Structure 1
Amino acid sequence: MGIAQRVREHLAHQGVAYRVVGHRGAESLEEAARRIGAPAWAVARAVLLCDAAGERWLAVLPLDHAIDFTALDRLTGRALKPVSPQAQREAFPDCAPASVPPLAAPYGLPAVVDRSLARVVAVYLEGGDGQALVGMAGEDFRRLHAAALWGDFARPIDNLGEAALGALAPAEEHRTRIERIYELPELSGQARAIRDLASGPGAARALTRLLEDDPLLTAQVVGCAALFIGRERGAAASVGEAVEEVLGFELARAIALGFSAGRGFDVPAEGPLGTRALWRHATYSAALVHALALSVPETHRPAPGLAYLAGLIHDFGFLLLGHLFRPEFYLLNKLKAARPETPVTVLEHQVLGMGEARHCLRCGHGEFGAFLMRAWRMPEPIITATRRHHDPGYAGADAVCANLVLIADQLLDSVADEEAPPLDASVLARWGLDRDQVLAVRERVLAEGGSLLDAVAAQLVA
């Protein structure tokens, strides 16, 4: 347990004594360190980087530090950026997808190590299987990195103010940054076909035929259908039953469209903004927005499919950010993990409103996601919900879906802390809702669908 084969063989060959400490499947390195009682400054983490020519380097730094890309570029003499998750999997073939051991030699990589690790007496690191950390003496860790380039390129996250954050993003020409905005992931042919299906006689059957060609998407839609089936009935026997008898065409299309559209991104799974957390939040938010919409008076009630889709894809701006702007996403993801109590919109202002990135990202993931939704020709209520879901004051066109997503996010954000959610009374009143009513909806959704939603979210990340 805890050690990939190449790492185990390398440690044995170097004669390094170590111990393996299980962390019971923590979902992040930060959580793993907390579970075993290791201080973050003593945990070495690795980030796989590459330059414009495709040469890969392994950056090794303390868990509670963030890469200063400007300093790293000066130290190495090259412009390095985080690689895609697919490239990471290829570089570490015997490791779990999100586990990167901070040992370059077993994988034939050059390494650059932050000098702060030279002072650590006992070091903990990932061993490769995502289930345990490996502890060793600091002198052994440094001996393993004798051939690495050592220098100062990481900054303690707790000491970073807004001005200091400005130095962490890599410099890049303004024109190039703007041009990259147009390298948007295309909506897949499957997703376009689902989007363009018109309601009417035969629509449900046409959607069923599309889904039957994709076993994974079929399983995801059938899994979601279980949320809408009474306990006495049991699961849908087929995707046709799920579409035609349980969900109905509009809701089934929304579910299939959201899941299919999310496949075109190459974004890390780990971290509070990674795909594992994002899809879990998305599936819960979609179920909750759909349920909240049913409580809105009929004169203002959005179509069930629109409500569900708004909840499901309102955070796709994060996927686009991670896909196109990996250094900024890396830093934002790292900061959110270190400062979970700080709203992500505040962190975005610090990270995305600085340097060259400000010209195309300064409005944050909402505006960025809305740009994508418009390029994909999504319905206007979806574009509005993506853009406005953090704005309680928005009461303009198509406000209902945006406001319901805001309420759902507030309800979900308070679950983990077991605190009373800070719901905006004016937003609730705008749609004929009250606090007790929406809290009851949340409790019902969590009680009846929690395990099913977790299972669907896990399928989306696999």
Structure 2
Amino acid sequence: MPVGVPVEQFTASSAAHVRLVLLHDREGKVLAVLPAAGLLDLNSLCQLAGRELQPVKAEDALRFFGQPALRTEAGQNQLLSLPMLVDTHCPASAWHCLEPHSGWHFTLERRPEHDRVQVGAFALPAQAPQQSVGISDTAMISRAVERFTGLRVQQRLDDLLGLPGLSESMHNIVRLRSNPDAGVDDLVPVVKRDPSLSAQVMGWASSPYYAAPGKVRSIEDAVIRVLGFDLVINLALGVAMGKVLQLPEDIPRGSIYHWDQAIYTATLCEKLAIKAQLEERPRPGLAYLAGLLHNFGYLVLGYLFPPYFSRLSRYIEANPHLEQQQVEQEVLHVTREQIGGWLLENWKLPDEVAMAVRYQQVPDEAGEYSAYAKLLYLASRLLRAEGLSDGPRVPVPENLLQQLELDPEQVRQAVEEVKAQAESLAQISRLFDSRT
């Protein structure tokens, strides 16, 4: 939600705050009204209306609610003459109406009453980001798989899921990434043995973003002089992950390209890790990798639950004020963070990365790796505010910069650097898509 009402207004305690959602089907537009903080349950709403409604695209909602005529009483009366679905939890008295995409809001003295208003229950209370409650992620993933695929989990979960494995060279890369004593001399032979990886490394080193002086003439030159050990390993792992799973087809409309978000987040996490003044400073290379893979569980959701992924996308579109994992918990009963953290742990990636991905929404639960999770949390929120990452605009907790010992001005400069480099970074991100 890069524009619109700040998300804190949608968690207001006032019962008078209601949210407007514009939906449509072949018959035309419908206006849904529900408590501002609630989750719109599309199944219940469609049953109430007897229609197959879906939310309009974010850009269409922005254009519709941005019309100057809606700032007039006549325009508001025309809007409220649309067929309306009103949740039973909305008050009968005055409403303070909010529309998240455009930021438009106005006060209505009383609830509209005309023959095209239907009242029914289609809003659910939005749950806070899930925290550890005594049940393992493996068990929760197993239950979700059983529920949505009809498969009984009678063997190792990773065998059942049928996820494609990593190549031999990628297993070697993972082992090097996990070995704190590994260096360039260990990495170069692994790269040379994989022709595809060799070509990619040469391509990265020659890209305008890294602006290497002179011509890059060899793998050694690319790794030692231009890219460095950490970056080659991290980019190689990102490419490997991109080849394991394709991007889902029916993603939320208007969302930012998955790998663009990944590399923006990785770059900002690395910059923030370098600037953090903690006694045990996060390793920039691992912070970069955590950022690169922070949303990988989303790809796995698309792989595991393709029949339900379109439904999930529509729910995310209908509830732009909520964290996406809150919607996933409601629709699929498992979140991208749970699946992503579990998978990275099973693939033997460093604990710092797996734990940061798993607990990026609740960083304090990451224990000794909480600094990495906090960097992810911070980078994601900062990028959302700039329209470079998906999700609601939420304020950064005041004490988070203090906990990471980050100077606010340095943080602002890091964000500005990523914004300035966004186009060049996006060129690199295309290497991660298995379809390219």
Counterpart CA distance in 2 for 1:373 and 1:325 is 19
Counterpart CA distance in 1 for 2:154 and 2:209 is 42
1:432 paired with 2:412, answer no
1:69-84 → structure 2 map (5 Å cutoff):
none
1:189 paired with 2:168, answer yes
Counterpart CA distance in 1 for 2:210 and 2:175 is 25
Shift of 1:67: 7.8
CA deviations 1:163-215 (Å, max 9, x no partner) are: 9xxxxx99658762676943252233232122123623622422441454346
Shift of 1:346: 1.9
Note closer, same or farther for the CA distance 1:65–1:332 as it changes in structure 2 (3 Å cut): same
The residue type paired with residue 319 of structure 2 is R
Counterpart CA distance in 2 for 1:345 and 1:258 is 22
1:222 paired with 2:198, answer no
Counterpart CA distance in 2 for 1:274 and 1:177 is 36
Aligned to 1:281: 261
Aligned to 2:427: 455
1:62-461 → structure 2 map (5 Å cutoff):
116=51, 160-162=122-124, 176=152, 181-182=157-158, 183-185=161-163, 186-197=165-176, 199-200=182-183, 202-210=185-193, 212-214=195-197, 217-218=200-201, 221-222=204-205, 226-229=208-211, 233=213, 239-272=219-252, 277-297=257-277, 299-353=279-333, 361=334, 364-394=335-365, 396-416=367-387, 422-447=395-420, 449-461=421-433
Contact preservation (8 Å) 1:385, 1:402: yes
TM-score (norm 2): 0.60
Counterpart CA distance in 2 for 1:235 and 1:270 is 41
Note closer, same or farther for the CA distance 1:250–1:170 as it changes in structure 2 (3 Å cut): closer
CA deviations 1:358-402 (Å, max 9, x no partner) are: xxx2xx221211110111011110111111111143462112211
Shift of 1:421: 6.0
Q: Percent identity between the aligned chains?
A: 26
Contact preservation (8 Å) 1:170, 1:327: no
Greater RCO, 1 or 2 (C-alpha within 8 Å, sep 6+): 2
CA RMSD in angstroms comes to: 4.2
Secondary structure of 2:302 counterpart: helix
Counterpart CA distance in 1 for 2:302 and 2:27 is 24
TM-score (norm 1): 0.57
Counterpart CA distance in 1 for 2:272 and 2:175 is 26
CA deviations 1:34-93 (Å, max 9, x no partner) are: xxxx9842499xxxxxxxxxxxxxxxxxxx99689xx9xxxxxxxxxxxxxxxxxxxxxx
Secondary structure of 2:368 counterpart: coil
Shift of 1:409: 0.4
Contact preservation (8 Å) 1:204, 1:248: no
Contact preservation (8 Å) 1:320, 1:369: yes
The residue type paired with residue 454 of structure 1 is A
CA deviations 1:202-230 (Å, max 9, x no partner) are: 2242244145434663366437x754447
Note closer, same or farther for the CA distance 1:205–1:391 as it changes in structure 2 (3 Å cut): same
The residue type paired with residue 152 of structure 2 is T
The residue type paired with residue 387 of structure 2 is A
The residue type paired with residue 257 of structure 1 is L
Shift of 1:263: 1.4
Shift of 1:321: 1.3
Contact preservation (8 Å) 2:266, 2:292: yes
The residue type paired with residue 161 of structure 1 is A
Tell me the number of residue pairs that the alignment of Structure 1 and Structure 2 aligns. Answer: 309
Note closer, same or farther for the CA distance 1:194–1:271 as it changes in structure 2 (3 Å cut): same
Instruction: Tell me which moved more, 207-216 or 408-417.
Output: 207-216
Contact preservation (8 Å) 1:283, 1:457: yes
Instruction: Tell me which moved more, 239-248 or 403-412.
Output: 239-248
Note closer, same or farther for the CA distance 1:332–1:177 as it changes in structure 2 (3 Å cut): farther
Shift of 1:407: 0.7
Secondary structure of 1:416 counterpart: coil
Counterpart CA distance in 2 for 1:170 and 1:450 is 41
Counterpart CA distance in 2 for 1:160 and 1:177 is 33
Counterpart CA distance in 2 for 1:274 and 1:42 is 21
